[in-house]
Structures are given as C-alpha cells and as structure tokens.
Amino acid sequence: MVVDAFRMFQLATQGFCCSQIMLILGLEEQGKENPDLIKAMHGLCGGVGRSGKTCGALTGGACLIGLNVGKGTPTEFSHAKINVMINDLLEWFEDVYGTLECSGILDHSLDEGNEYPVQCGNIVTTTFSKVQEILASYAEDSESTDED
C-alpha cells in the first residue's frame, strides 16, 4: 500500500500522532478498526510521551510489524523471524535518519502543544513503506513459532 498523503494529513489534523497514524493506516489496510489499540499507541507519541526519545514512527512501525505477524492469542504463533524483521527496521531507520531519537531527527524538542512538523509526515511515509517492504520480504518465510 502506498501511503495516501491526504489521509495522513487528515489524521494529523484530527490530532493523531506518528505512532497512531502508523497503526491506523495498517489497520485500514486490513479493513479493521481498533480504537483501544490507537489509544494505547498515544503513549508512543513524540518519542514516548513527547519526551523526544525513540521516534514514534519507528515504535509505531515495530508495533505494525507485530500487528501483522505477532502472537495475539494463546493458540496463535508469531512469525519465526518477527524480531529479525523489527531489527531490520531499526537498522534501516538509524541508517536513514542517523538516530532513533525524535529530538535528534527534528533537531528540536516537541514541547506539549506544538504541532507536529511536516518532516514527521515524511518520516511516517517512508517508515510505513519500509515496514510494508520488510513484511513482503519475509512473507515467503512464513514458518511460525511461539518462541520469542
């Protein structure tokens, strides 16, 4: 799925942050809604509680991988390489942005009440696309395990 820039803008203007937008887009791709999950993702906004630490697009991306291939019920199994996929995302993200931290990428803090910069939209777009690429590249290797 190619990220619809208008849909991202719409979600941002509705007050959703990067990590929430990542999961909303991923759920929409599956034809689902999950307001409780989106509420939980609010904790990752702005680098975990707007602290500027680990970027919400990155943590949202890791959660999106989990949403697609993680274990969700006692009888379900996660993808055997879920952690490899997440580590692929981490390495790619750090290579592209030079850091995992929101404040380092934006070169300023995200004080409460500040709007999310346009730059965040670009980060969400590229990270969402990378997650899709990672999921596709491991789709053939769908052997599952309950070992994490």
Q: Which pair of tokens denotes residue 1?
A: 């799925």
The pairing of strands 144-145 and 78-79 is: antiparallel
Q: What is the pTM of this model?
A: 0.87
- How is 11-62 classified by DSSP, letter by letter? HHHTT--HHHHHHHHHHHHTT---HHHHHHHGGGTTTTTTSS-B-HHHHHHH
pLDDT tens by residue, the chain, 148 residues: 567 788 888 898 899 999 999 999 999 999 999 999 999 999 998 889 888 899 999 999 999 999 999 999 999 999 999 999 999 999 999 999 999 998 888 876 665 555 555 678 889 999 999 999 999 999 876 654 555 5
